[in-house]
């Protein structure tokens, strides 16, 4: 038997057997690479652990990955924290880098579930590059779409990220989000588009990142246009219907 750096006596028998059985089970499972999209309360969080365990996948949530990188004080995590502390958006390059590192982990060997990624056209393009380097591709994109009538009033979530809402619309309409468009705001359960903290700072940041258009709540359109950012077009929308007409049918 080959030498091992791990003393088998240090491993509890029950834990060892559980790990061996898990690895035997995973060896027979097909590789899968999935993307989950959907609004809060649609069931992503409920189904992710079930599918993850059944197919031996890792669950990669953008928010969780960012928090873990910041807590671990990794080089990318330190840069992400600097951006957060300034009230800036974490750049696509940082998000992509953190997700790329996560995909290299042993637990992601059989594949992964991407939750909250990609959120922008740039991130989607970088994801394609990452997968091409690995000789892999996304197997399925699962859209957890539910009717407005199915939202539970007791949900603690009262709003969702505007960029995620745009991604869902893009999938439903089968129309890609135009290149260079950013989304800043949140969308309520009634479809209204609302502001988020530090709107001016966020818009300035996406302009510096090279975005040419930015969808924002209608209520702050005039004030944001007064910033004089010539390199980016400010598009104000009151609700989801206006967003669809402006971005996908304009």
**What's residue 225's pLDDT?**
94
| Close Cβ partners of 36 (under 8 Å, ≥ 6 residues apart) | 44, 47, 48, 113, 114, 115, 142, 144
DSSP secondary-structure letter at 180?
T
212 by Cβ neighbours in 10 Å (0-12 / 13-18 / 19+) ranks as middle
**Interval 11-32 mean pLDDT:** 72
Evaluate whether 80 touches 94 at the Cβ level (below 8 Å).
Answer: yes
The answer, yes or no, to whether residue 130 has pLDDT greater than 50, is yes
**What's residue 152's pLDDT?**
47
**What's residue 229's pLDDT?**
92
**What's residue 14's pLDDT?**
54
Apex 22 CA angle, 111 and 117, nearest 5: 25
**Interval 200-226 mean pLDDT:** 93
**Interval 221-248 mean pLDDT:** 92
Name the residue with higher pLDDT: 186 or 190. Answer: 186
The answer, yes or no, to whether residue 1 has pLDDT greater than 60, is no
No. of H helices and E strands in the chain? 10, 10
Rounded Cα gap, residues 107 and 26, in angstroms: 11
**Interval 181-208 mean pLDDT:** 88
Please report which confidence band the pLDDT of residue 165 belongs to, taking 50, 70 and 90 as the band edges: confident
Q: Which domains does the chain have, with CATH numbers?
A: 30-146 (3.40.50.300), 155-250 (3.30.230.10)
């Amino acid at each position: 038997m080959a030498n091992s750096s791990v003393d088998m006596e240090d491993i509890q028998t029950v834990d060892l057997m559980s790990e061996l059985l898990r690895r035997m089970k995973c060896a027979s499972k097909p590789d899968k690479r999935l993307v989950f999209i959907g609004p809060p309360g649609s069931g992503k969080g409920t189904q992710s652990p079930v599918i993850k365990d059944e197919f031996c996948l890792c669950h990669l949530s953008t928010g969780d990955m960012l928090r873990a990188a910041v807590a671990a004080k990794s080089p990318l995590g330190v840069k992400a924290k600097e951006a957060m502390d300034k009230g800036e958006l974490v750049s696509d390059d940082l998000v992509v880098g953190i997700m790329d590192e996560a995909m290299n982990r042993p637990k992601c060997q059989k594949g992964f579930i991407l939750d909250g990624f990609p959120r922008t056209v740039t991130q989607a393009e970088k994801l394609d590059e990452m997968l091409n380097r690995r000789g892999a591709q996304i197997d399925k994109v699962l859209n957890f779409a539910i009717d407005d009538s199915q939202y539970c009033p007791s949900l603690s979530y009262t709003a969702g990220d505007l960029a995620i809402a745009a991604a869902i619309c893009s999938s439903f309409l089968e129309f890609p989000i135009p290149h260079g468009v950013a989304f800043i705001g949140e969308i309520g359960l009634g479809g209204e588009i609302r502001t988020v903290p530090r709107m001016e700072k966020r818009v300035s940041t996406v302009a510096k990142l090279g975005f040419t258009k930015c969808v924002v709540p209608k209520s702050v359109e005039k004030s944001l246009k007064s910033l004089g950012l010539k390199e980016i077009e400010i598009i104000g929308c009151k609700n989801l219907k206006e967003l669809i007409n402006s971005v996908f049918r304009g």
